[in-house]
Amino acid sequence: MCVLELPQLQKIFEMCEQDMVGEVSVEEICRVLSRAGIDIRGDELKAIVGSERLDFEVFVEFCRSIASTEQLRHEIVTADDQECDLKEAFNVFDID
pLDDT block averages, 10 residues each, the chain of length 96: 73 80 87 81 86 90 71 57 62 66
| DSSP secondary structure letter of residue 53 | E
Residue 13, in any domain of the structure? yes
Given this model, what pLDDT does residue 69 score? 55
Residue 72, in any domain of the structure? yes
- The number of distinct structural domains making up the chain is 1
For residue 49, the enclosing domain spans 6-93
- Distance, in Å, from the CA atom of 14 to the CA atom of 63, rounded to the nearest integer, reads 14
- Distance, in Å, from the CA atom of 44 to the CA atom of 26, rounded to the nearest integer, reads 9
Given this model, what pLDDT does residue 94 score? 64
pTM, entire model: 0.58
Residue 32, in any domain of the structure? yes
CATH for 80? 1.10.238.10
What value does the CA radius of gyration of the chain take, rounded to a whole number of Å?
19
Residue 16, in any domain of the structure? yes
Q: Beta 23-25 vs 53-55: how paired, if at all?
A: antiparallel
Given this model, what pLDDT does residue 96 score? 62
Given this model, what pLDDT does residue 55 score? 92
Residue 83, in any domain of the structure? yes
Residue 1, in any domain of the structure? no
